[in-house]
Homo-oligomer: A and B are copies of this chain.
Amino acid sequence: MNTSRTKLTRLPKRGAHDAETIYPILDAALVCHISYCIDGQPFIIPTAFCRIEDTLYIHGSVGSHFFRELAKGVHVCVAVTFIDGLILARSAFSHSVNYRSVVAFGKSRLVEDEAESWLALERITEQIMPGRWADTRHPNASEMKKTMVIAIPIEEASAKVRTGGVNDDPEDLALPYWAGVVPLSLTYHTPVPDEKRIKDVPLPDYLKG
């Protein structure tokens, strides 16, 4: 998964093109950013997604301009980014962040096969909350009619990962500035039940902890 579009010219030691690095980053994300071009003008849309083998899937309204554009089959770029920590160096120049990111390229395709659409919707739901699909009312015919599923077969992809600590120049180490890492993570807070509930349903196991 490495051609000129994903060749890393800066800091190549941070780059990877193997599925073992790329897939876990994609699979951990709640949202991706997708871009496409119309007459040289780039557009970006953030959206939920899932990965099945080497294809990404997104879903949206059949009335959406964005989805109607992608249904034509266009070149897209998909990015997933996690910021895992702030690297506060003694020099401003050496400031950085720890991160995991993937950039993938492919051509969008309208999914017309019902089974493929259904599986994509299941996996998109599961990507947001594993265990949820089996614990929800599945789409009916009218809802499926309003929903467009787009596939993006990954033609190329690359991952970039930075981990570790501060990389100040040796001559900066004695400077009187605090230096170190501020770790960051996404916190899932206590689930808040819907006020409009008619009966109390116990919190499912997949939402505990």
Contacts and interface: CB of A to CB of B under 8 A. Distances in A.
A182 B188 contact: yes
A63 B187 contact: no
- Each complex incorporates copies of this chain amounting to 2
Nearest to A181: B192
B174 A199 contact: yes
A91 interface: yes
A114 interface: no
A43 to B, nearest CB: 5
Interface residues of A, number: 92
Interface string A74-114: 01111101010010111111010101010101000000000
Nearest to A200: B178
Contacts of A191: 88, 178, 180-182
A137 interface: yes
B182 A185 contact: no
B10 A61 contact: yes
A185 B189 contact: yes
A24 interface: no
